[in-house]
Amino acid sequence: MDIKKTCAELRRLLEESVKRNLAEGILLSGGLDTSIIATLASRYRKLKAFTVAFEEARSPDVEYAKQIAGKLKLEHIIHNLSMDEIYAELPTVIRVMNSFDPMEIRNSVVILVGLEEAKEAGVNTILTGDGADELFAGYSFFFNYSKKELERELQKMWKNMRFSSRDIAFHLNMEAKLPYLDEDFQSFAKQIDPELKVHKENNGVIGKWILRKAFEGVLPQNIVWRVKTPIEQGSGTAYLPQLFGELISNTEFEEKRQKILQEDHVEIRDKEHLTYYEIYRSEIGVPSATNTEGKICPKCNSNVPTDATYCRTCGAYPI
């Protein structure tokens, strides 16, 4: 596969996708994926950019988002998220996502707050960078696979892609637009050799290599080669497990964990998990299988897809 031609076609198709999916605003993390979308979309319309940062922890997204917003001269709104606000938002996130998986909730609360901030600013359509990591193997757990294993794992991921931005936007009567998942672009991306997705660079291995190469010279180098930073790390909500660990005593945790296991037959892993489960139980109820003939999560008794190794309800992995 000719790398220069692949990069050129990738840029062309993604720009066409962005033009078909123009919106009033963008959830801007300052990572590679949203920076590309912001750069392409700002060629065609004026955007408002929204970044969420947990005020009790370091939020590296802010400096990068400021950089790209400044370069593109975007109106940029940074929302500093407090612990009280997280508590207030948790029931909505858990109810909309039908989940008490800590990773899902940590990420989705940031998206909810960002979308609410956008709506308050009069924005009803919003761009996100969802899909790039899935299409281009951006997650670090892909890096040690052989080519065959990587192809297999990507295929599996493509069958089960789900993005909370869509569910949360729908809940808020907004529309999330995901240019990376445009049919033409997605089809092209899936055909790219996996070895051009996970590739060596500067004596290390990096994901989304071909996407990065395609936008070298378009974006600042520090953003093109920025290491993948999940939402929870970039926004600072990765600090939540430690905070919940300090707020709940070991005795209280163990008593509640045992009670939930005995009465609800749900396995609780840690104090953050407990916090979300108690809200889930209050908002939705005890998880149970609606199809007793289907595959059931052994940790929370919810149905999961037949080929799933991960439970979206409780976050158990592997199952």
Q: Which two tokens stand for residue 292?
A: 């007793």
- 156-209 residue pLDDT tens: 899 888 999 999 999 999 999 999 999 999 999 999 999 999 998 888 899 999
Q: What is the pLDDT of residues 35-63, one digit of tens each?
A: 999 999 999 999 999 999 999 999 999 99
The Cα–Cα gap between 203 and 256 comes to: 48
Average pLDDT over every residue of 254-278? 98
Output the average pLDDT for the chain: 96
pLDDT at 307: 82
Segment 56-108, tens digit of pLDDT: 999 999 999 999 999 999 999 999 999 999 999 999 999 999 999 999 999 99
- The band of 309, judged by pLDDT with boundaries at 50, 70 and 90, is confident
pLDDT for the residue 202: 80
Whether the per-residue pLDDT at 308 is higher than 90: the answer is no
- Range scoring the smallest mean pLDDT among 39-43, 149-153, 279-283: 149-153
What's residue 222's pLDDT?
Answer: 97
Range 13-27 average pLDDT: 98
Residue ranges per domain, the chain? 3-238, 249-319
Candidate from 30-44, 274-288, 293-307 with smallest mean pLDDT: 293-307
Q: How many Å apart are CA 52 and CA 111, to the nearest integer?
A: 8
Q: Which stretches of 182-308 are assigned E, i.e. beta strand?
A: 199-201, 204-206
Exposure on the CB side of residue 55, measured as CA atoms within 13 A: 9
| pLDDT at residue 113 greater than cutoff 90 | yes
When pLDDT is cut at 50, 70 and 90, the band that residue 1 belongs to is: low
CATH classification code of 3-238:
3.40.50.620
Task: Answer yes or no: are the C-beta atoms of 130 and 183 closer than 8 Å.
Answer: no
Judge if pTM exceeds 0.85: yes
